[in-house]
Amino acid sequence: MHGSGRVKIVDVAAAAGVSVTTVSHVISGRRPVSAATRARVEDAVRRLGYQADPSARGLRTQRTDTVGLVVPDITNPFNTELAAGVQAIAYARGLLTVVCEAPMTDGPRLPAVLRQLTARRLDGIVLGRFGAQRADLDLIAGSGARLVRLGTRIADGPGDVVRGAETEGMRDLVRYLVRERGYRRIGFIGGEAGVEPGGERYEGYRQALAEAGRTVPEDLTVWTGFTREGGRAGAALLLDATEPPDAVVCANDLIAIGALDVARERGFDVPGRLAVTGYDDIDAASMVSPALTTVVNPAREIGRSAARLLIDRLDGDKGPAREVVLTHQVVRRASA
Amino acid sequence: MHGSGRVKIVDVAAAAGVSVTTVSHVISGRRPVSAATRARVEDAVRRLGYQADPSARGLRTQRTDTVGLVVPDITNPFNTELAAGVQAIAYARGLLTVVCEAPMTDGPRLPAVLRQLTARRLDGIVLGRFGAQRADLDLIAGSGARLVRLGTRIADGPGDVVRGAETEGMRDLVRYLVRERGYRRIGFIGGEAGVEPGGERYEGYRQALAEAGRTVPEDLTVWTGFTREGGRAGAALLLDATEPPDAVVCANDLIAIGALDVARERGFDVPGRLAVTGYDDIDAASMVSPALTTVVNPAREIGRSAARLLIDRLDGDKGPAREVVLTHQVVRRASA
DNA sequence: TCACGCATCCAAATCGTTTTGCATCGCAGG
DNA sequence: CCTGCGATGCAAAACGATTTGGATGCGTGA
C-alpha cells in the first residue's frame, strides 16, 4: 500500500536484504531459494506492492504476454461472444487481450491494422473471419506471433484453425426447410462476397438443394454485407423478384433480422408466406418475433478453443498445425 | 520485406551509414537532421521494414501507448458500442485499446482486474459503469494512469468524467408515460443495486412521479441485474403483485426485453395492458416487437469523448478535472 | 587569424528486468 | 586435513530503444 507505481526490484531486494537476482528467482521459481529467504522476499514484495515493469520484462524475455483478436466488426454479437471467450481463457493465463476492429467497408483496413499489431510484438493473434489475403497471414507468421485462424481451412495458410462445421450446419438447416417444411423456392442472402463464413455457408445451401434434386435458383442469390442493413437491402431485392421466394436463407442472423424488417414492412406473413432463417444464434435471434430459426455457432467456445491453441503454442508445442472443428446444431423456432 | 520481425535500430543505422542516435532523431523528429541524411535513413527504414520494439521503447519512455477500458460485461451491446468509440479514437492516435471484463456477479472481480491492469502500466484507463469503490479509483490514480470514469459524478473521485444526462433522460421518459400516455401505476425494474447508472435512472423515475404529484409505489420497485434474465425475474415479480402495474420502466433495454418475454408468456398485451420501456437504445431495442420505447444513450459518442479526454491528459493537459455530459433523447416506439 | 555560433552527428548513459557464470559456505567422504 | 559437491546467493551482461552532453566541421564577423 506504499508507493504503488514506482517500486522497483532493487527496492524489494534492499528491503529483504538480498540481491535482485534472488528476488527474481523467488518470483520466477527458476532456481531454488531457501525457505527463509523466500519468506523475507515474499513479504517485502507484499509490503511494497511490487509489480514487475512489463516493458523491462518484455525487453528481456522477448514476450509481451499479450494476444490480439482481429475481427471485422466489434459490434457484431458473434464477435463479441468470440472476444469474451478468448479473453476468459487468456486472462486466466495472465495474458492481456486486445481486440481490434478492421472494418471491411471502405477498402482493406486489415493490412494496416495487422501492421500495427505486429509492431506491438504480440505473442499471438487470433484472426477472425475475413477475406484475408495470403500476404496478411504471412505477415503475421513472419512477425513471430503465433496465429490461429477462424472459420477457414487449415490448408489455406500458416497457423492453427478453429471453425464451426458451417457447411454441414447450413446443409442441415436447408434440408430441414426442404424435407420437413416443404419450402419450394429458397433464396439466399450472403454477406460480403469472398468473406470467410459466407462461402462455407453458401456451399451448404447448395449441397442441400443438390441432394434434394433441386436446381440452385441463381436469380435468388444476392451478396450484401453481414449486417441488418445488408439484410434489408438483400431482402428488398429478392422480394421484388418476378417470382419471389417462399423462403430466404440468410448467411447470418443480422441479415435475417434485416430481412424480417422488410417482410414486415411489405406485409409478408412470416413464416406463412415467407420463411426466414439465420445463422449464429446470437442473443437477438430469440428476441425478435417471430423468433429466428437458425444454427447455433458456438462463438464463445470458438474463442476459448482459439485461446487454448494459442497458449499451447506459447508453451512450446511444436506439433503440426491443428484444426479444431466445433459441432453445429439447428435450432427450430417460429420463423420457418 | 526482408526480415520482418528481427530488424533493430542498429541495423537501420548500419544500412544508412549513420549512428543509431541519428536514426532515432529522424524518426522522432526531436532534433534536426539534414535532408540528405534523413532521406537515407527513411529509405533504410522502409527497405528493412523497421518497427521499434515497444518494450524497449516503453522501458525508456515509461509509456506503453496502451489504454484500457473496463466494463462489467463485454456482451452488453451498450458496452460494445462504448468500446468501439474508445477504440476508434485511440487507434487513430496510435494507442492500443484493451477492453477488460470484470463481471459483477460472483463477488467483486474489479479489484483483481484493476491490479492486473495497473501492473501493465497502462497510460490511461476508462472505467465503465460500476459500483466502484473509492479504493479502486485511488488504485488507478496511484498507478500513474490517467483515469476517465463513466456515468458517475465528478465529485466522487479522481479523474475526468463522461456521462449521459441519465436522471433527466429517465425523468423525461416517465413524464411522457404520465402526461401523454396516461399510465397510472408505473413500476421500476433496476439492475444491480448500487451499480452506477441504476441510481441516476431511478432518481429520474422518482422525480417524474414526484412532480406529477404521485407517490412512488415502493412495492413496484425491484432490483435484479442488467440482463435479459434479470428483466425476466423482475417482471415476473411485478406481474404477480396483488395490484400489478400498467407500466414497467426498466433500467436498461436488456431488462426491458426480458420483461417483454414475460409479458408475452403471460398473454399481457403490450402496450395495451402493459407498457414496457427501456434505456440505452441498443440495436436490439428496435428489433423486438413491439419495438421498445426507450432513451438513447450515445454509447459510441461517450466512448469517443472518454478517449479524447484521456488523450488530452496524455498530451500534458494539467487542468482541473473535467466532466462531459452528453444529451439524451426519448425515442417513442410501440411498447408504450 | 582567431573566436564564435550553428548545423550535424555520435558515444555513452539510462530505463528495469532476467539470466548466466562464479563465488561462497557447510558438510560428507576419503 | 583435503576434496568435491549440493545448496545458495551475487555481480554483471544482456535486451533495444531514447536522450543528453559533447565532438566535429564549417562559415562568418572582427
- At B52, give phi and psi (nearest 5°): -60, 140
3-state secondary structure of B71: strand
pLDDT band at A105 (very low <50, low <70, confident <90, very high): confident
User: Is A54 an 8 Å CB contact of chain B?
Assistant: yes
Task: Give me the pLDDT at residue B103, please.
Answer: 85
Give B60 CA → C13 C1' in Å. 12
- Is residue A309 scored above 80 in pLDDT? yes
Residue of B nearest to A5 (CA): B143
- Is residue A32 scored above 80 in pLDDT? yes
- Is residue A15 scored above 50 in pLDDT? yes
pLDDT of A126-142, one tens digit each? 999 887 889 999 999 99
Chain B: give the shortest CA distance to residue A209, in Å.
30
Give A220 CA → C13 C1' in Å. 71
User: Is B81 an 8 Å CB contact of chain A?
Assistant: yes
Residues with Cβ within 8 Å of A310's Cβ and at least 6 positions away in sequence, in order, are: A67, A90, A123, A124, A126, A146, A148
Residues with Cβ within 8 Å of A13's Cβ and at least 6 positions away in sequence, in order, are: A19, A20, A22, A23
Whether A119 sits inside 8 A of B80 (CB atoms) is: no
For residue B199, what is the enclosing H or E element? Answer: helix B196-211
Instruction: Indicate if CB(B4) is under 7 A from strand D.
Output: no
The CATH number of B64-164+299-329, from 1.10.1740.10, 3.30.360.10, 3.40.50.2300, 3.40.630.20, is: 3.40.50.2300
Nucleotides of C under 7 A from a protein CB: 7-12, 14-21
- Is residue A3 scored above 70 in pLDDT? no
Q: C-alpha distances in angstroms, B71 versus A66, A247, A328?
A: 19, 40, 30
Task: Give me the pLDDT at residue B4, please.
Answer: 43
How does the average pLDDT of chain A come out, rounded? Answer: 93
Whether A59 sits inside 8 A of B74 (CB atoms) is: no
Burial B47-86 (b: 16+ CB within 10 A, else e): ebbbbbbbbbbbbeeeebbbbbbbbbbbbbbbbbbbbbbb
Question: Is A99:A69 a contact under the CB 8 Å cutoff?
Answer: yes
- A175-184, A186-195, A260-269: which range is least confident on average? A186-195
Question: Is A288:A257 a contact under the CB 8 Å cutoff?
Answer: yes
What is the greatest pairwise CA distance in chain A?
A: 86
Task: Give me the pLDDT at residue A2, please.
Answer: 41
> What's the average model confidence in pLDDT over A240-258?
96
Instruction: Indicate if CB(A53) is under 7 A from strand D.
Output: no
> What is d(CA B240, CA B39) in angstroms, rounded to the nearest whole number?
77
Q: For strand D, list residues 218-247 of chain A whose Cβ lies within 7 Å of it.
A: none
Task: Give me the pLDDT at residue A133, please.
Answer: 87
- Which residues in chain A have Cβ-Cβ distances shorter than 8 Å to B80? 74-75, 77, 80
pLDDT band at A106 (very low <50, low <70, confident <90, very high): low
Chain B: give the shortest CA distance to residue A175, in Å.
28
Rg (CA), chain A: 25
Question: Is A23:A41 a contact under the CB 8 Å cutoff?
Answer: yes
Task: Give me the pLDDT at residue A121, please.
Answer: 96
pLDDT of A111-126, one tens digit each? 999 999 999 999 999 9
Chain B: give the shortest CA distance to residue A100, in Å.
8
Whether A119 sits inside 8 A of B58 (CB atoms) is: no
C-alpha B302: how far from its chain's center?
Answer: 7
User: Is B141 an 8 Å CB contact of chain A?
Assistant: no
Whether B287 sits inside 8 A of A283 (CB atoms) is: no
pLDDT of A141-150, one tens digit each? 999 999 999 9
Question: Other CB atoms closer than 10 Å to residue B315's CB: what's the count?
Answer: 8
Which residues belong to CATH 3.40.50.2300 in chain A?
64-164+299-329, 166-296
pLDDT band at A160 (very low <50, low <70, confident <90, very high): very high
Whether B54 sits inside 8 A of A77 (CB atoms) is: no
The CATH number of A9-52, from 3.30.70.3270, 3.40.605.10, 3.40.50.1220, 1.10.260.40, is: 1.10.260.40
Nucleotides of D under 7 A from a protein CB: 7-12, 14-21
> What's the average model confidence in pLDDT over A281-307?
96
Task: Give me the pLDDT at residue A4, please.
Answer: 43
Instruction: Indicate if CB(B10) is under 7 A from strand D.
Output: yes
Question: Is A80:A284 a contact under the CB 8 Å cutoff?
Answer: no
Instruction: Indicate if CB(B318) is under 7 A from strand D.
Output: no
> What is d(CA A147, CA A142) in angstroms, rounded to the nearest whole number?
10
CATH architecture of A166-296: 3-Layer(aba) Sandwich (3.40)
- Is residue A199 scored above 90 in pLDDT? no
Give A23 CA → C23 C1' in Å. 19
3-state secondary structure chain A: CCCCCCCCHHHHHHHHCCCHHHHHHHHHCCCCCCHHHHHHHHHHHHHHCCCCCHHHHHHHHCCCCEEEEEECCCCCHHHHHHHHHHHHHHHHCCCEEEEEECCCCCCCCHHHHHHHHHHCCCCEEEECCCCCCHHHHHHHHHCCCEEEEECCCHHHCCCEEEEECHHHHHHHHHHHHHHCCCCCCEEEEECCCCCHHHHHHHHHHHHHHHHCCCCCCHHHEEECCCCHHHHHHHHHHHHCCCCCCCEEEECCHHHHHHHHHHHHHCCCCCCCCCEEECCECCHHHHCCCCCCEEEECCHHHHHHHHHHHHHHHHCCCCCCCCEEEECCEEECCCCC
- At B90, give phi and psi (nearest 5°): -65, -45
Residue B135 grid cell: 479504493
> What is d(CA B241, CA A213) in angstroms, rounded to the nearest whole number?
57
Tell me which residues of chain B have a pLDDT lower than 70. Answer: 1-5, 106, 196
3-state secondary structure of B274: coil
Which residues belong to CATH 1.10.260.40 in chain A?
9-52
Angle formed at CA B45 by CA B43 and CA B49, multiple of 5 degrees = 120
